[in-house]
Amino acid sequence: MDIVARLDKLRSSTIIYHLVHILMISLGVSISLLGGAIWTSIGTSLIATGSAGVLIYLYYAHNQRNVELVEGLREFGLQQIYDERSGRIRHEEYASRLQRARYHVDIIGFGLTSFRVDYISDLGALATRAKVRILLLDPDSPFAAQRDREEGLSEGVIAGEIREFVSQYERQRSLSPNGATPPRIEVRLYTCLPLLNVFRIDDEIFYGPYLAGRASRKTVTMRARRGVIYDQMVHHFDEVWERHSRPLPHVPVAIAAGPSPT
C-alpha cells in the first residue's frame, strides 16, 4: 500500500472514530433530557465515554506527532542546534571530542582563526591518533574579498587570516624532525564557492551556513551523528577535497598585512 493510500485509510479511520464518539456524546445529551435518574445516568455515561474517547485520541495524536518528530530527527542524525559557533561549542564541544578523536578530523572554513588559535600547536599530536584534513579557502580566490564585504570587514582580512594559518602550520611543520609533515595530516586550499562550515570528528559532524552580514563564529550551527545529514556533509567535504582544492605551496606563504577583524 503506498503512502497516499495509507493516509487516506488513516483519515477515514479518524473520521469514523470521531463520528462514533460525537454520536455517543449527542445521544447521551438527548437521553439525559428525557429526565429521570435512570435516563440521566445512562446519558451521563454516554457523554463521559464519548468525551473520554475524543480526549484519548487527541492525547494519542499529540504523542504520536512527537514520536514521529523524534524518529525523523533520529533518522537524519540531528542531535543539537547551537545559536553560534563560538563560546560553548568552541571551548566545550570541540575540545572534548578532539581529545577522544581516533579516526577522522575534517574541517572546512575560511581562515579558521578560532581553530588556529586553539589547536594549531596540537595538530601533530592529533594526527598521531586520527587522520586530519583541513580545507582553507584559497586566499587568492575572489570569494575571499567577497566574504570580507559580506561580513563588513576591510578587504584582505580573510585572505590575511588564511595566510596566517598556513604560515603557522608551516612553522609547526618546520619544528618536526627533518621538517617532515605527519603522514596523517594535510592542509589544502579550496577554490569553489564557500557554502558551509563543516567540522567532522569521528562519528559526529558540526555544520552551519555562511550568512551575509554575520560573522561565521556568530552563526547557527548544528551537530549530527551518523545518518542522512552526516553522510551528505561528509560527501560534500570529500567532493571539495578531491575535485575543488589544491595542495599548499611548498614554500611558506607570507603573512598578509591587514586590519584584524572585530
Q: What CATH code is carried by the domain that includes residue 217? A: 3.30.870.10
H or E element in which residue 131 lies: strand 131-137
Q: How far apart are CA 27 and CA 192, in angstroms?
A: 70
Among residues 111, 131, 135, the alpha carbon closest in space to that of 123 is found at 131
Q: Is the predicted pLDDT of residue 191 greater than 70, yes or no? A: yes
Cα distance between residue 110 and residue 134, in whole Å: 11
Q: With contact defined as beta carbons under 8 Å apart, do 91 and 119 qualify?
A: no
Regarding whether 72 and 87 lie in a shared domain, the answer is no
Q: 144 and 210, same structural domain?
A: yes
Which domain range does residue 13 map to?
A: 3-76
Residue 68 lies in a domain: yes
* Tens-digit pLDDT profile for residues 57-116: 666 665 666 556 666 666 778 888 888 887 778 888 999 999 999 999 999 999 999 999
Residue 147 inside a domain? The answer is yes
Task: Report which of residues 54 and 7 the model is more confident about.
Answer: 54
Do 38 and 110 lie in one domain? The reply is no
Same domain for 32 and 143, yes or no, is no
Same domain, 94 and 140: yes
Q: Is 142 inside a domain boundary?
A: yes
- The stretch 33-48 carries a mean pLDDT of 66
What is the total residue count of the chain?
Answer: 262
